[in-house]
Amino acid sequence: MAALDRVKVLVLGDSGVGKSSLVHLLCHNQVLGNPSWTVGCSVDVRIHDYKEGTPEEKTYYIELWDVGGSVGSATSVKSTRAVFYNLLNGIILVHDLTNKKSSQNLYRWSLEALNRDVAPTGVLVTNGDYDREQFSDNQIPLLVIGTKLDQIPETKRNEVLTRTAFLAEDFNAEEINLDCTNPRYLAAGSSNAVKLSRFFDKVIEKRYFLRDGNQIPGFSERKRFGGGTLKSLHYD
């Protein structure tokens, strides 16, 4: 097999929402037997066929970096985590459908990852305010996944799904709602699997096929250049 090219996707979310189970499901198509607290970062690899079924089909490795922790941690912990946010190509935001706070924290998570300053020790520069415009211009593909769908009673399901639809719209991202202990949600051919595939395709496209001298800017640079289309080269 030819050397497969490399793509990095972060998996972010509060502690206990099910990121490790999700990553295991995405990479091994199996349910994780004994989930335990993630310390630091755990990586797993998924082999993805870009443009499956077409003549341009190519196989890529997608690295899923599952970063543990809480969004309210001390600055020193955030600085430590920031080392994993280097060179990222996509972000999967995971929230727990039974826990509203975890959905709200996604805004802070995405800002933490996207606003990473390029300073050597990874100090975060912005004050973390949520600004909708940032997400509409964002070049890094986002995907919102809600877990523990099975624990929502039927009566509340509509209300929860409406709320998450708004959430995904805020991020300008697609959303998938599932239960990480049941592989059938991501069964081949289901709408979830299609969305997932589309997301990974988008990540790969942004990484490899828009490299015509432009590069994906960090947010601090956006603010400095007043949100214009000027992009500078420091990627790769």
User: Hey, which residues between 53 and 82 contact another protein (CB under 8 A)?
Assistant: 61, 63, 65, 70-72, 74-77, 79-80
- Helix (H, G, I), strand (E, B), or coil: what is residue 126? coil
Residue located via tokens 């499901």:
25
Q: Indicate whether 153 belongs to the interface with another protein (CB under 8 A).
A: no
Figure out which of the listed residues 5, 51, 52, 83 binds another protein, where binding follows CB under 8 A: 83
- Helix (H, G, I), strand (E, B), or coil: what is residue 233? coil
CA separation for the pair 227, 9 (Å, rounded): 25
Phi/psi at 62 (5° precision): -110, 120
User: Hey, which residues between 176 and 215 contact another protein (CB under 8 A)?
Assistant: none
Q: Indicate whether 1 belongs to the interface with another protein (CB under 8 A).
A: yes
Q: Indicate whether 224 belongs to the interface with another protein (CB under 8 A).
A: no
Q: Are 174 and 195 in contact (CB under 8 A)?
A: yes
CA dihedral (51, 182, 174, 125) positive or negative: negative
Q: Indicate whether 128 belongs to the interface with another protein (CB under 8 A).
A: no
Q: Indicate whether 27 belongs to the interface with another protein (CB under 8 A).
A: yes
Beta bridge partners of 90: 9
Residues that bind another protein (CB under 8 A): 1, 4, 14-16, 27, 39-47, 61, 63, 65, 70-72, 74-77, 79-80, 83-84, 86, 96, 99-102, 105, 120-121
